[in-house]
Amino acid sequence: MKSCSAFFVLLWVVSASAQPAAPAATPIVAKSTYHPDNSHSETIVDKTTNELIESTYNAGGALVAKKHYLLNERGLPTQGHIYDGRGNLVARSQVYFDAYGRATEMRSFNLNGQCYQQVVYEYDASGAAKKPKVVNVNPGAAPSIKPGVIDFTNTAAPGQMVPQPQAAPAQPAKEPKKKGFFGRLFSK
């Protein structure tokens, strides 16, 4: 009987040593930030999935906004989604980097793809970050930009003048056509 139990103990030791070691603790970093208006933000950074989640709560403890960002290999946010307190997607953001891997600009876009906020990051000569500049934009007030037509057919050899088209002579204004019965009936 002793040899049988010793055999099972030996079998257990061998099987336990053959098992892979348990993974190390998940590298998750969390912090809370309290704001002067009694609201607070909770930030969770998960380095195994390269994600950052920031939840902002009002003074009463209700969720106001939630931001979910993807992080690059250096742990910096690259892109993300912004949700309201009910979990509805309200905006997207994109971060742009320079040749040294430093963030240069973060743009936030509404669901129509219009940029409504830019955060510009600048650095001094020694590489230290300056205070970011925030530019809020009203996308509804932006002028509409339409593509123009460029005529590349009038080309000349270097040093030669390209003849410019002559403007058409102005024609006298025509008297507007009078509306008929149905035109008057259905006009505004």
Mean pLDDT, the chain, integer: 78
Q: Tell me the backbone φ, ψ of residue 35, rounded to 5 degrees.
A: -100, 160
Q: Considering only 16-30, 68-82, 116-130, which range has the smallest mean pLDDT?
A: 16-30
Identify the pLDDT of residue 44: 95
Q: Of the candidates 53, 112, 99, 98, which has an alpha carbon nearest to the alpha carbon of residue 77? A: 53
Instruction: For Cα atoms 47, 53, 59, give the angle at the middle one, nearest 5 degrees.
Output: 140
- The tokens for 179 are 């509306």
More confident site: 25 or 65:
65
* 77: exposed, middle or buried (Cβ count in 10 Å: 0-12, 13-18, 19+): buried
Look at residue 185 and give its three-state secondary structure.
helix
pTM, rounded to two decimals: 0.58
